Amino acid sequence: MDDSDRLGPAGAETLPYPRVLVKVSGEALMGPEAFGLHPPTVSAIARDLAALRERGCEVAVVVGGGNILRGARVAGEDLARATADNMGMLATVMNALALEQAVEKAGVPARSMSAIAMPTVCEPYARQQALRHLRRGRVVVLAGGTGNPYFTTDTGAVLRAAELECDAVLKATNVDGVYSADPKRDPNAVRFARLTHDEALAKDLKVMDAAAFALAREAALSIIVFAVQEPSSITAAAIGEGRATIVEP
Ligand code: UDP
């Protein structure tokens, strides 16, 4: 990011990643439930985002929608994939509204912006306006993924991180990093502390879906993978602490 974009509060310059894009999947907001939102989990994530902002970090968030609807899963003979994906993108807007309100309740101003314009519900996404919100200390919750069917919110996260000149993508998952094999199935699976994009590609490790990962590599964006269930894990990942895998150029 250039200097004109780096107007965060004093202290931000001591952070390893002064501006971050946090990817929060729909599943992360579901907590122990099988569907939808789990309010205590949403509040805990929002408090963590607010705490990170209060440390001086500029925080953008891309939310998923898998806790409500995934296009590929509901598409079929009677429902075109593009329509199903539009429904999935609308699901992310619901999550964004819940998260926006929870961040504000945690004492930090927040703004939802949607890639699918619905101005009576939240702001339409516009890069310059999103940058303005970030510089003014607002947590920006980005909904609607890329705004296009056939993509995922992981791709949306990397895309927004690149255009908003974020210093890292923090990918909040169910696992505390990237492993050599599925740790649930293979007791010999080892967790990587650090990897380059090229190493992750050569080892065929699943960090993000292929389109998202290719864009992160192209944009030389660091990706930090960590388990969101740990308390304050978002802040820990952003300040370079906690268990995580860092994928960097
Ligand atoms: N989606 C889409 N384009 C995008 C982002 C999302 O069509 O750019 C749709 C797609 O149907 C996807 C759903 O929205 O299944 C929810 O997003 P995602 O599966 O990425 O959510 P997560 O797994 O992160 O909860």
Q: What is the CATH number of domain 3-248?
A: 3.40.1160.10
71 touches ligand 1 (CB under 6 Å): yes
**Residue to mutate, 23, 42, 92, ligand 1, most ligand atoms under 8 Å from C-beta:** 92
* Angstrom distance (rounded) from CA 114 to CA 237: 26
144 touches ligand 1 (CB under 6 Å): no
Task: With beta carbons less than 8 A apart as the criterion, state whether 131 and 164 touch.
Answer: yes
Percent of the chain residues topping a pLDDT of 90? 93
Token representation of residue 98: 């819940």
Residue 124, pLDDT above cutoff 50:
yes
Read off the pLDDT of each residue in 211-218 and give the average, rounded to a whole number.
98
Residue 171, pLDDT above cutoff 80:
yes
CB atoms within 10 A of CB 174: 11
Read off the pLDDT of each residue in 8-25 and give the average, rounded to a whole number.
82
pLDDT tens for residues 26-77?
A: 999 999 999 999 999 999 999 999 999 999 999 999 999 999 999 999 999 9
Question: Where on the phi/psi map is residue 188: left (φ > 0), alpha (ψ -120 to 50), or beta?
Answer: alpha
pLDDT of residue 11: 52
Residue found under tokens 């806790």: 67
pLDDT of residue 12: 56
Residue 132, pLDDT above cutoff 80:
yes
Ligand 1 atom 14, closest CA:
88
Read off the pLDDT of each residue in 209-215 and give the average, rounded to a whole number.
97
Q: Which whole-number Å values give the CA distances from 121 to 24, 26, 64, 94, 143, in the listed order?
A: 20, 19, 18, 10, 11
Question: pLDDT grade, residue 1 (50/70/90)?
Answer: very low
Average pLDDT, the chain: 95
